[in-house]
Amino acid sequence: MNLLTRILCCALALVASAGLQAAEPLTIRWEKNYLTIGGDFPGEEVSILYLEAYCRPGSTDREWDQTVIGHKAELVSHSADGRVIKLKDTLTDGVVVEHTITASADAVDFQLVAHNPTAKASEAHWAQPCMRVDRFTGSSKDDAWEVYPPYIQKCFLFVDGVMTRLPTRPWATKARYTPGQVYCPQDVDRNDVNPRPLSKLVPSSGLCGCFSADDKLILAIGWEPYQEIFQGVITCLHSDFRLGGLQPGETKKIHGKLYIVPADVDALVKRFENDMKESRK
């Protein structure tokens, strides 16, 4: 046995004697429009209404039912190991969006392909994956309708490249629907976002997230491109992805990442930036 092999064996023995084991990979399942991520983390499951809605532009000050574009979701396949799901959304205007969702040890990857096979332009400008964070943050759903629900103190986004905790200042309180808080990026028309109170603050990244109840882990999600970041009224946090409409015959790709990782914000940001390099090209 050479020296390198001996060192490796000793290291493995020390890990085993300490009772340390590698974390089990995340698992995913989809049923009745809900994507559920399971694993060894606070709350043991994260539920996402996937997808809550596809939306038209001009939405910031308009009745919600006039903004939503109806869609039908179907499960195309689900791997036996609970690691890969393929979905297909068919919008009422004919657009088809195919989703490949893949779970790894501490992340979930979303690869979307949106195609308009019709002869008419589509108004599908953005869509909402509604991530529920109550179990992860140890919060209650009962007080989620307050102007400053307690769970948002665990939530964050990035402004001028700096992690910024909620509730942000200033805090908008007037909109067609209240409460809640919407953050619109620089390159998106402020008339085209969720009809909840719109913050004056401009996010510098589509990445947002929250800390676990014990502050040891982060649950984060981000998309490229993205339409808005949104704190909702059902202990939810959104990074909503952008389509920007589709011309006849046009195809677009959207990339998303969800992370459940140690509470190292700098490491999370570096990883997200690296993961999105190709998508931004």
Task: Give pLDDT tens digits for 232-257.
Answer: 999 999 999 999 999 999 999 999 99
- pLDDT: is 281 or 256 the higher one? 256
State residue 10's pLDDT score.
47
State residue 140's pLDDT score.
93
- pLDDT: is 108 or 24 the higher one? 108
Q: pTM of the prediction? A: 0.91
Domain regions of the chain by residue span: 31-280
State residue 23's pLDDT score.
63
Report, as an integer, the average pLDDT of 112-124: 98
State residue 273's pLDDT score.
98
Residue 5 clears pLDDT 90, i.e. is over it:
no
85, 75 Cβ separation under 8 angstroms? yes
State residue 21's pLDDT score.
39
CATH number for the domain running over 31-280: 2.70.98
